[in-house]
């Protein structure tokens, strides 16, 4: 897939727009690589500063803390995923096929592109699986939410919920089911890699198993 795209991330997340400078873009790109390799807990601005040959103080001019940087990365991801959803559903009229396409999108690595922000899509996918819940499972979530910083995630879930409702207008819980699909995709892929006894997978790749499971779950509920 070959296209060039950029997204405007909520300006409440950052102090200075990283997309606006070469250093800022390098900062986000390398943060994705480091968080993927080290994990969010071990990731620090000091390590990032060494990686991109700058100072911690410079990074703090862009982001108040590493939680905000992770939130920026995830906002970009959710915007990208919503874009891919719209792209992949073009021309599909059958709502069941739309839902199956969404399941594939939720469970597999993002396709690479020649995008202006050349982020490693494989690492992004891994970060979402392992780290995404850390941006909202925090005590300050209500305060953070007032700035609408979870909007891309909510918008994606709303689009999936709309298609669920088109497939079965009588189903009463489309938004709940939508967010359950997204979060279950993350947790089950994580369990498959690290806590396999919490899954029933014994022969498929993690993404394929989770895709089969979500397909079974979704249509057992809706049909």
97 CB-near residues (< 8 Å, 6+ apart): none
The distance between the two most distant Cα atoms of the chain, rounded to a whole number of Å, is: 57
Q: Is residue 11 in a domain? A: no
Q: Compute the distance between CA of residue 186 and CA of residue 80 in angstroms, rounded to an integer.
A: 17
Q: Compute the distance between CA of residue 165 and CA of residue 172 in angstroms, rounded to an integer.
A: 9
Q: Is residue 12 in a domain? A: no
Question: What would the pLDDT profile of 100-153 be if each residue is shown by its tens digit?
Answer: 999 999 998 877 654 555 788 889 999 999 999 999 989 989 988 999 999 999
**CATH at residue 127:** 1.10.357.10
Number of independent structural domains in the chain: 1
Q: Is residue 2 in a domain? A: no
Domain span at 124: 18-222
Q: Which two tokens stand for residue 104?
A: 């594939």
Q: Is residue 82 in a domain? A: yes
pTM over 0.85: yes
Q: DSSP string spanning 87-107?
A: HHHTT---HHHHHHHHHHHHH
Question: What would the pLDDT profile of 148-191 be if each residue is shown by its tens digit?
Answer: 999 999 999 999 999 999 999 999 999 999 999 999 999 999 99
Q: Is residue 4 in a domain? A: no
């Amino acid at each position: 897939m070959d296209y060039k795209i950029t997204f405007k991330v909520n300006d409440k997340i950052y102090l200075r727009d990283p997309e606006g400078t070469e250093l800022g873009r390098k900062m986000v790109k390398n943060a994705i690589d480091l968080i993927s390799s080290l994990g969010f807990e071990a990731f620090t601005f000091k390590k990032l500063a060494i990686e991109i040959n700058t100072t911690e103080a410079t990074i703090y001019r862009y982001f108040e803390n590493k939680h905000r940087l992770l939130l920026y990365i995830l906002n970009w991801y959710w915007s990208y995923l919503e874009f891919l959803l719209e792209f992949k559903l073009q021309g599909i009229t059958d709502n069941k096929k739309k839902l199956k396409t969404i399941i594939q999108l939720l469970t597999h690595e993002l396709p690479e592109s020649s995008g202006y922000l050349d982020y490693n899509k494989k690492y992004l996918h891994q970060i979402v699986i392992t780290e995404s819940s850390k941006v909202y499972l925090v005590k300050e979530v209500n305060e953070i939410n007032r700035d609408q910083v979870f909007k891309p995630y909510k918008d994606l879930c709303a689009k999936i919920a709309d298609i669920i409702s088109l497939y079965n207008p009588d189903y009463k819980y489309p938004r709940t089911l939508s967010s359950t699909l997204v979060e279950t995709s993350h947790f089950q892929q994580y369990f498959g890699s690290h806590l396999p006894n919490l899954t029933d997978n014994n022969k498929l790749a993690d993404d394929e198993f989770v895709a089969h499971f979500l397909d079974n779950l979704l249509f057992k509920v809706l049909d």
